[in-house]
Each structure stands twice: as C-alpha cells, then as structure tokens.
Amino acid sequence: MKELFGRLADGTEIHRWSLENGGTRMKVLSYGGIVQCLETPDRHGRYANISLGFDRIEDYVTSSPYFGALIGRYGNRIGKGRFTLDGETHRLSADDGENSLHGGEAGFDKVVWEVEPFQRGTDVGLRLSHTSPDGEMGYPGTLTAQVTYTLTAEGDWRIDYAATTDKVTVVNLTNHVYWNLAGEGSGTIEHHELTIAAARFTPTDPGLIPTGELAPVTGTPFDFRAPKPIGRDLRTGHPQLLAAQGYDHNWVLEKGITAEPEAVATLRDPASGRTLRVATTEPGMQFYSGNFLDGTLVGPAGRAYRQGDALCLETQHYPDSPNHAHFPSTVLRPGETYRSTTVHSFPA
C-alpha cells in the first residue's frame, strides 16, 4: 500500500509504503529510504513498533539522528573529511566537527529515492534507486545505487545494496534503524542482551575516528562473544566508553567478508521475548548504544527519547577505511559492482 506521508518545503511529495509478510510489518518512506515503523509480535503475539521514528516528515528533515535511514555514500566517519585515492585528494562535506559522518550534510538519508514495489514468489518488497551526481558531498564519480528491501515469508527483513560508479570512488552503505525490542518509547535498552561474533574492535580517538588498531575484546567491556546485558559494563569507566559516552564502535566480525550473509549478532529482550538476529556479508558492525539521544525528540507515540533508549547495529566496512590501508578496502572502480547484504530476522 502506498500513501502520501507529507511534503518537503519545495512541495515534493513523500510517500509511505506499507509491507507485511511472515508476521513482520514495516512502513518505508521515499525520503531517505527510512523505515518509519517496524512491527513484530512479542511472546504473547502482541505487536509493537520496535524502531524509533517520527510521524511527521518535518521532523525527519530537521531533527533526525538518522532514524531508520539509509546511509551513504559512506557509513560512519571519514577523518578530517578527506582521503586520497590514486594520488588525488578529495575533500568531503564535514558535518561532524572536522569529520564527515554518514555521507556528509546531505547524505542518502536526505534524498528522495525512487521506489518500486515488487512481489516475487512468496517475497514482497521495495526497490529503491538513487543516482548521486559526481562530486556530491565531495565524493568522486556518479554513483548509481540500488537498495532492495525484502520481507520474506519467514518475516525476515533483507537488505541488498548494489552500486556502480563512473570514476574511482569509495562506498560503504548501511542502514540506521534504532532498535528497542520492547517497543519505541518504552525506555532503556540496557537490559537487552547482545551477542556479537567479534574478538576485536577498532578503538577510536576522541573524535570517534579509528586509531587504526584492531584491539582484542578479551577482558574489556567490548567482549560480547557471550550474551551480555548492554548495561552490564556501560559504567565501568573504560576510556573508550567515556570518550563515546557509551558504545559507539566498530566490531571486527570474525567471519570477515563473505559472499553470503552469515550470522554475526543476536539481540534479545527478556521482557518482551523479542529477538533480532543480524546476518551480513560485511566485515564490520557499528554498535551504537544511543548515547546522543538527549530527551529532546519525541516519537510517534508521544514519548521522548532519552540516552540509551535504543541501539543501532550498522553492518559496514570499518569507519575511515579510506585512510587506513590495512582495513578492508572500500574502493569501487568503474566496471565493478559494490554489493552488500544484511538480513534481520525476528525468531519467535
């Protein structure tokens, strides 16, 4: 189903598509490819919206910390907003102090995507397309991006990303859903239990740019190899947690880059009985514990979002890869196709 959600200041119509399959319901906006609502049942079959969002387009345009949005051209930060590729230095839009975050000031979360619904066998979904002109936000090359959201008969939400370029460039696409498995607006996620299949993470400098080190998680608050409540080590005073006001780091997934999505994380809310499983082809995942939610934004149910009221699990290549030769490469050349897949499942 397609309906009018609102209009941008210049009159552009923003549409909202509703999808349902296998017990999962979602609503997606043409603006930013935003997942505006994602509903799953709890252990008693009661539905709740488990992703933070707004019910007015104006709020997404002016105040959203990327709620539910597609992120591009580059997920997470590029240090000092610059990188050098084949001898040429590129300067990006700096939207986070001197750094460039999530594609710059007007990234893929702020563009109006072309949206085509589809049905294929037992799958339903949306095909989102966007062409980013050469030089947009400082990135070289015309980037033609296609993102497919599929809801499967099992109720899985699968994202397939693809992109091509006409000049050498870098690309790192992801999605920025803020999860609260007890329902948006229901309070803290500190009691959610998280598992991440990673023995190392990438520590950051005070500006949240990776130092380049791949540090072991053993004996640190960053060890999520066994299920752990998110709040358990949050107040330990670990310098990396103090600098980021919580978790806001990239985990080095043990499996590395894979041709097919492999399971990397499980999030469980003991109270509601809801579980989210994440599988991906990507080598990294940013776990962000909602540190910068500060009680100034109000969700669709009229409840304010405070620090730690949601978390993000953003599958990706590592932040600032263009400036770290030993990180897996994010370079895309003409003639190649960037591909990435992430599957979110909601086992009962």
Taking CB under 6 A as the rule, does residue 207 contact ligand BGC? no
100, 91 Cβ separation under 8 angstroms = no
Taking CB under 6 A as the rule, does residue 208 contact ligand BGC? yes
Task: Spell 86-99 as b/e; 16+ CB within 10 A means b.
Answer: eeeebebbbbbeeb
The piece of 38-46, 87-95, 284-292, 338-346 that touches ligand BGC (CB under 6 A) is: 284-292
- Nearer to ligand BGC by Cβ, of 74 and 157: the residue is 74
The token pair that represents 306 in the structure block: 């405070």
Taking CB under 6 A as the rule, does residue 175 contact ligand BGC? no
- Nearer to ligand BGC by Cβ, of 150 and 286: the residue is 286
- Nearer to ligand BGC by Cβ, of 181 and 209: the residue is 209
155, 22 Cβ separation under 8 angstroms = yes
The token pair that represents 134 in the structure block: 């050469």
The piece of 12-20, 36-44, 55-63, 285-293 that touches ligand BGC (CB under 6 A) is: 285-293
Q: Are strands 100-101 and 77-78 parallel, antiparallel or unpaired?
A: antiparallel
Instruction: Give the list of residues 6+ apart from residue 244 with CB closer than 8 angstroms, or none.
Output: 204, 208, 291
Site string for ligand BGC, 230-249 (x = CB under 6 A): ------------------x-
57, 16 Cβ separation under 8 angstroms = no
CB of 315 to ligand BGC, least distance (A): 11
Check if 314 is active-site.
yes
- Helix, strand, or coil (residue 111): coil
Cα 266 from Cα 271, distance rounded (Å): 15
The piece of 11-19, 84-92, 220-228, 286-294 that touches ligand BGC (CB under 6 A) is: 286-294
Cα 345 from Cα 348, distance rounded (Å): 10
Check if 176 is active-site.
yes
Question: In the set 109, 282, 314, 320, which binds ligand BGC (CB under 6 A)?
Answer: 314
- Nearer to ligand BGC by Cβ, of 42 and 314: the residue is 314
Number of residues counted as binding ligand BGC (CB under 6 A): 10
Question: In the set 153, 292, 294, 329, which binds ligand BGC (CB under 6 A)?
Answer: 292
Question: In the set 21, 76, 100, 342, which binds ligand BGC (CB under 6 A)?
Answer: 76
Q: Which of 136, 249, 314, 317 is catalytic?
A: 314
The token pair that represents 242 in the structure block: 């103090």
The token pair that represents 7 in the structure block: 């209009």
* ω into 339 cis (within 30 of 0): no
Catalytic residues: 176, 314
Residues forming the site for ligand BGC (CB under 6 A): 65-66, 76, 208, 248, 286, 288, 292, 312, 314
